[in-house]
Structure 1
Amino acid sequence: MKIIGITMWQLDLPLTRPYWLPGGLLKFEKLDSTFVRVDTDADVSGWGESCPWGNTYLPAHGPGVRAGIATLAPSLLGQDPRSLEAINRTMDTALPGHLYVKSAIDMACWDILGKVTGMPLWQLLGGTEANSVAVNSSITAGTSDEMIALIRDAYSEGYRTHSAEVGGSDPVADIARIQSIEAALKPDEKVTYDVNRAWLPAVAIQVLNNVSVRGWIEQPCETLQQCAQVAQRIIQPIMLDECLHTFEDHLLAWRLGACEGVKVKPNRMGGLTKARQIRDFGVSVGWQMHFADLGGSALADTAAIHLASSTPAANRLASWLCHHHLAVDPVPGQGARNIDGFAAPPTAPGLGVEPDVAALGIPASVFHKGRRHDP
């Protein structure tokens, strides 16, 4: 089996409401997503999606995804998509770094492997059944009353775990906000407080030693070393996110004792192949892990839910579904969806999501052996 074509589409995904990160510094109103289809000479195709969460969040952006795929395509044509490690080595040789570019290609190759073996991705990734995964809400930064109202709305939709954006330049205000949210929680719910790198170490230590929470603290500071400094001086469990990209980053986090858990996001790590390696490492060292992608439709969400479902329950935290925040649905009714606070991966072979090509519109680029076509 050989890859004979790669087609990509650009799609704007508007959010149902603007999303603010801590401090009101980063505001997002739509996402720029890239859908990819990898075609083979066996008449089997696979789908992937790469959707960075805006261009100001991390060093990743939609135009960069498409430029990177254009760079990679010539080296991938003629390769066997089922040889996942070889595909990843080819991509890393042709374009060092730029992991977010490679995730859609890697995802599409996993989809092909599942289809030709007749196995869903959760099974290929080590699962024994399509386990449902708890999902968490995502609560944008705001006043205490605004955030509590959003938590109550999410609770009515089945969410029992929430991720709430906090952090800013006023430690007293952050302490009051966290205390107000904790006081408003029902007995069966908990919150991960996502600081998104907003605090300096001194502020993080000051805030976290003055609050009592039943959930996690996520990415309190910018760097891994700063987060490790905080972790040694607080009692709450730390989850790391934005400072972790490669396997080496995760290994260093473990050596520093910087966290008790991590967010595993295939798009940030280069795809499911490398995310699985990190997942397996996390299981071996006793981490708990949250699985989600950086952004995107139910297609990207479903790939992450396959990985979460195949992870031992003791190591698996609630996942996040980006498509819950979108005003459009390019794969309506398909993939992992929130049903009373849980999402299950499809049982069909491969990814289990098949976009309607007509609904995606005109391709941004089409690559075939020896030529490229840009509409």
Structure 2
Amino acid sequence: MRISRISVWQVDLPLSKPYWLSGGRLKFETIDSTFVRIDTDEGLSGWGEGCPWGHTYLPAHAPGLRSAIELLAPALLGRDPRALDEINRTMDVQLPGHPYAKSPIDIACWDLLGKATGEPLWRMLGAEIPAPVAINSSISTGSPEEMIALIHEASAKGYRTHSAKVGGSDFAADIERIEAISAALPKGEQVTFDVNRAWTPGVALQVLNAVSARDWIEQPCETLDECAAVAEKVPQPIMLDECLHTFQDHLQAWKSGACQGVKVKPNRVGGLTKARRIRDFGVSVGWQMHIEDTGGSAFADTATLHLAASTPGPNRLASWLCHAHLAVDPVPGQGARNQDGYVIFSDAPGVGVTPEPAALGEPVAVFGGGA
């Protein structure tokens, strides 16, 4: 089996309402997603999606993703997509870095491998039976009353774990938010306070040593070193996210004792191949992990939650579904959907989601010839 063609689509994904994070300093209304289809000389096709969640969240942006694919595609044509490690080595030689651009290609190759073998991704990623994956809400920054109302709305939809966005220079406002949300949290539900790197270490220490909450605190500061310095001096468990881009970053986080858990996002680290290595490392050192993607449609959510469904229960925390925030649905009725707070997987081969090209519009780029 050889790659004969790589097609690329650009799709705007408007959010159903504006979304604020990092203490309100970052606002999002539409995200730019890239769909990739890899065709082969044996008639099989695999799909991938990459969505960096705007250009202010991470060192990644959607036009750059598509430009990178233009550089990567010539080196991939004629290669066997089932040779996942070799595909990833080829991409890393052709273009060092830029993991977010490699992720949709890697996922499309996983989709092809699943279709070629008749196996779902969750089985190829290590599960005998796919675990039902709990999903968590994502609560936009606002006043305590606004955030509590959003949590109650999410609870009514089956969510039992919530990610509440806090952070900013006004540490008194964050103390108020955290204490109010902790007091109002419905019985049996959990919350993570996600700072999205908005605090300086000094603010983080003032807030976290003042509140009574002992819930997860996610990415309190910008850098790994800053988060490690905070982790030594606060009583809450620390979850890291945005400062982890490579396996080496995760190794350093463990060596420095910077966290007790991490978020594993295939689009941030380069795809499922590299995310699986990080997940397995996390299991070996006893981390707990939220496994979800940076953004995208139900396709991106589904591809990533296959990895969550194959992760041991003690190490698996809830996963976020980006598509729940979208005003459009490019893959209607398919893939990972909220079923009373969980996602349940079938035995469908590969990702189990097949976008309809006509619904995506005309490709913005096609590399190679016919399938």
Give the secondary-structure state (helix, strand or coil) at the position aligned to 1:49: strand
Contact 1:195 1:219 in 2 (8 A): yes
Contact 1:37 1:108 in 2 (8 A): yes
**Partner residue of 1:168?**
168
Q: Distance in 1 between matches of 2:343 and 2:215?
A: 21
Q: Deviations 1:319-345 (Å, cap 9, x if unpaired)? A: 000000000000001001111110123
**Partner residue of 2:359?**
359
Q: Distance in 1 between matches of 2:189 and 2:76?
A: 46
Give the secondary-structure state (helix, strand or coil) at the position aligned to 2:210: coil
Name the aligned partner's letter for residue 262 of structure 1.
V
Contact 2:214 2:237 in 1 (8 A): no
- Quick check: 136-145 or 202-211, which moved more? 202-211
**Partner residue of 1:208?**
208
Q: Distance in 1 between matches of 2:149 and 2:301?
A: 25
Name the aligned partner's letter for residue 34 of structure 1.
T
Alignment of 1:293-304 (within 5 A): 293-304=293-304
**Partner residue of 1:182?**
182
Name the aligned partner's letter for residue 97 of structure 1.
G
**Partner residue of 2:274?**
274
- Say if 2:34 is the partner of 1:37: no
Q: Distance in 1 between matches of 2:367 and 2:327?
A: 30
Give the secondary-structure state (helix, strand or coil) at the position aligned to 1:328: coil
Q: Deviations 1:164-205 (Å, cap 9, x if unpaired)? A: 100111111111110001110111111100000011111101
* Post-superposition offset of 1:298: 0.4
Contact 1:305 1:344 in 2 (8 A): no
Name the aligned partner's letter for residue 337 of structure 2.
R
* Post-superposition offset of 1:213: 2.2
Give the secondary-structure state (helix, strand or coil) at the position aligned to 1:29: strand
Contact 1:6 1:73 in 2 (8 A): yes
Structure 2 stretches of 5 or more lacking a match?
Answer: none
Contact 1:130 1:347 in 2 (8 A): no
Alignment of 1:89-108 (within 5 A): 89-108=89-108
Structure 1 stretches of 5 or more lacking a match?
Answer: none
Aligned residues: 370
Name the aligned partner's letter for residue 230 of structure 2.
V
**Partner residue of 1:61?**
61
Q: Distance in 1 between matches of 2:76 and 2:45?
A: 14
Give the secondary-structure state (helix, strand or coil) at the position aligned to 2:339: coil
Give the TM-score taking structure 2 as reference length.
0.99
RMSD over aligned CA atoms reads: 0.9
Please list every run of at least 4 consecutive aligned residues from structure 1 whose deviation after the TM superposition is greater than 3 angstroms.
Answer: none
Alignment of 1:233-252 (within 5 A): 233-252=233-252
Alignment of 1:7-46 (within 5 A): 7-46=7-46
Q: Distance in 1 between matches of 2:184 and 2:159?
A: 15
Alignment of 1:55-204 (within 5 A): 55-204=55-204
Q: Sequence identity of aligned pairs in percent?
A: 69
- Quick check: 181-190 or 152-161, which moved more? 181-190
